[in-house]
Structure 1
Amino acid sequence: MIYFETARLRFRDWKVTDIISFAEMNADNEVMKHFPKTLSADESNEFYEAIVAKFHDFGFGFYAVEEKERNEFIGFIGFHEATFETDFTPCIEIGWRLKKEAWGKGYATEGAEACLHYGFTELGFRDVYSFTAEINTPFQNVMRKIGMDFNTYFDHPKLPIESPLKRHVLYHIKQKS
């Protein structure tokens, strides 16, 4: 199923044929630079299964994104219910991960803006959050470009204290009236 499109991107259900590209993306050191670790093929497959299950359970999730011109899977952009223990959870989080070859083309911004619009108009979200490691400035740049406001800093409770990724930033956006 195709959920929505932009001028250059298609947001659709996941296909079994996405698994190989998904695993390659998750194993790429540069793509995963601001995550705790790269993922093995088995871990990527488990993540794929979890994404598909979330769509079944909630009717939304991380949408498979493809470049329309080439009908090529380039990553995911979408929503996730963050439930780890902190003062702003549970909440709806917007997130994205794109293949390195898709970087620098504005796809993350274009796609995240479209996702926010879909989330607010079709899914009825009132608030959406996004967070990342404080050192992940490219991700923060996208958050600002899509209209999110900086909220606070926090230490991610699932990361060890010595991790350079422990300190996170939280951004937020409300549905416009």
Structure 2
Amino acid sequence: MIYLETSRLQLRDWEETDLEPFSRLNADEKVMTYFPKTLSTEETNVFYKSIVSEFKECGFGLYAVEVKESKVFIGFIGFHRATFEADFTPCIEIGWRLKKEAWGKGYATEGAEACLQYGFNKLGFIDVYSFTADVNNPSKNVMIKIGMSFVKTFNHPKVEKSSPLNKHVLFHINQNSANGIR
């Protein structure tokens, strides 16, 4: 099922054929620069199953993204329930991960804007959060472009304290402040 379409992207259900390119995406050191580690094929399979499970349980999740024109899988954009221990959780998180060849084309911004609109107007979300390692400037830029506001920095409880990726930034947008995307 296709959930969302933009001028260049389709955000859809996951298919078995996505597993191989998804595994390559998660094993790419460049793509995973701002994550603690790359994922093995087995770890990607577990991640895939958790995405499918979240869709069944919640009716939303991380959508598989493909370029409309070519039908090529480029990654995911969508929502996730963040439940780790923090003063802002549990919450709805918007996130994205795209293959290198899709970087610098505005796909993350385009897809995330469509997701926010869908989340607020169809799924009834009031608040949406996003967070990333403080050093991840590309993702922080997407958060700003889609109208999110910086809230604070925090130490991510699931990242080693000694890691340069432990310090995270938290961004937020709510239904009332989402002027440009409604």
Question: TM bucket by the smaller chain?
Answer: over 0.9
Aligned to 1:88: 88
Q: Unpaired segments of 5 or more residues in structure 1?
A: none
Q: CA deviation at 1:36?
A: 0.6
The residue type paired with residue 139 of structure 1 is: S
**1 CA distance for matches of 2:148 and 2:78?**
15
**2 CA distance for matches of 1:122 and 1:101?**
31
The residue type paired with residue 111 of structure 2 is: G
Aligned to 2:8: 8
**2 CA distance for matches of 1:143 and 1:160?**
24
Aligned to 1:108: 108
Aligned to 2:172: 172
Q: CA deviation at 1:60?
A: 0.2
**1 CA distance for matches of 2:131 and 2:160?**
17
Paired residues for 1:55-74 under 5 Å: 55-74=55-74
The residue type paired with residue 81 of structure 2 is: E
Aligned to 1:50: 50
Q: CA deviation at 1:125?
A: 0.2
Runs (4 or more) in structure 1 with deviation over 2 Å come to none
Task: Indicate the SS of the match to 1:101.
Answer: helix
Aligned to 2:125: 125
Output the aligned Cα RMSD: 0.7
Aligned to 1:136: 136
Give the TM-score, by structure 2 length: 0.96
**1 CA distance for matches of 2:74 and 2:158?**
28
Paired residues for 1:5-44 under 5 Å: 5-44=5-44
Q: Unpaired segments of 5 or more residues in structure 2?
A: 178-182
Task: Indicate the SS of the match to 1:176.
Answer: helix
**2 CA distance for matches of 1:89 and 1:125?**
15
1:11-58 Cα distance to aligned partner (Å, 9 max, x none): 100000000000000000000000010000111111111100100000
Aligned to 2:160: 160
Aligned to 1:145: 145
Aligned to 2:180: none
Q: CA deviation at 1:8?
A: 0.2
